Amino acid sequence: MTEPDSEDLTARARIRDAALRHFGEHGFDRATIRGIAETAGVSSGLLRHHFGSKEALRDACDAYLVKALERINDQVRTDGAGEGVNYVAVTGAAFGPYQKYIARALGEGRAAPLFDKLVELGQQWLAEVDEKRSDRPEVPLEARAVVGAAMSLSIAVLHHHVSRGLGVDVLSTRGAEVLAPILLDLYSHPYLSPAEAAKLRARLGKDSKHD
C-alpha cells in the first residue's frame, strides 16, 4: 500500500482534506473559506496563512492527488506484476475518498494537473508497449494518451452509473474485485481485429475525401 505523507496529521492536511470534501460536494464556486475552515477545525485566518486563497487551496488539492497518482505509478513499476496485489483496489483506496472532488472538478473543466499527469504517465506506458507491438499504431502516442486518460477517469466521473450497472459500489473492496477482471478482459480483448480496424480506417479516409 502507498505510504501516507508526513504532513497528513497536520492542520494543513486537515484543511486540504476538508477542501477536497467541500469542493466535491458544493463545487469550487460555492465552497467557502469559512465552511472549509470549520470542517477542518481551524480558523479562516489559519487557512489563509497556509494557503493564501481559495484558488491556491484548490491547487494544493490537485497537487496532492497528482502526488498520490505518482506514488501508485511508481509502486506498479517497482512491483512489476505485483503478485497478489489488486491495483484497482489500491487506486480505489487512494482516490475513493476524493471521488466526488475528481468527478465534479473534471466536469467543471478543472483538475487539469491531475488529467495532465495521467496523460504524461500514459505516454510513458504506451511508449514501452509500442516497442513490443507487431502492429504499429497509426495514431500519435500523445493523442492516444489523452483519450486513454479520459477513459481511465470515466469510472470516477460515472461512478454512480457504473456501480448501479454492476450491482456493487466499484470503490468498495468487493467492487475492486469485480472491476479488476472486467478491465483486464476489456484491455486484452479489443473490439476489433487489426484487419477489421484497417477496413474501417480505409473507409474513414475515403469519407474524408468527399467532405
Q: What is the pLDDT along the chain (211 residues), one digit of tens a residue?
A: 344 444 455 899 999 999 999 999 999 999 999 999 999 999 999 999 999 999 999 999 999 999 999 999 998 888 765 566 888 999 998 999 999 999 999 999 999 999 999 999 999 999 999 999 888 888 999 999 999 999 999 999 999 999 999 999 999 999 999 999 999 999 999 899 888 988 998 988 766 555 5
From CA 135, how far away is CA 49, in angstroms rounded? 55
Per-residue model confidence (pLDDT) at position 85: 84
Q: Are 20 and 98 in contact (CB under 8 A)?
A: yes
198 part of a folded domain: yes
185 part of a folded domain: yes
From CA 179, how far away is CA 92, in angstroms rounded? 11
Q: How many structural domains is the chain composed of?
A: 1
What pTM does this model have?
A: 0.87
Per-residue model confidence (pLDDT) at position 208: 56
Burial class (CB in 10 A: 0-12, 13-18, 19+), 18: buried
- Virtual CA dihedral for 82, 83, 84, 86, nearest 10 degrees? 30
Per-residue model confidence (pLDDT) at position 4: 44
Q: Residue 28 in 3-state DSSP? A: coil
Which segments within 28-67 are labelled E, that is strand?
none
Per-residue model confidence (pLDDT) at position 136: 84
Per-residue model confidence (pLDDT) at position 190: 86
Per-residue model confidence (pLDDT) at position 3: 44
50 part of a folded domain: yes
Handedness of CA 133, 134, 140, 144 (dihedral sign): negative
1 part of a folded domain: no
* C-alpha grid cell, residue 12: 494543513
**Residue 85 DSSP symbol:** -
CATH number, domain at 201?
1.10.357.10
149 part of a folded domain: yes
72 part of a folded domain: yes
From CA 68, how far away is CA 74, in angstroms rounded? 10
Give the structural domain span for 182. 6-209
Angle ∠(93,95,98) on CA atoms, nearest 5? 125
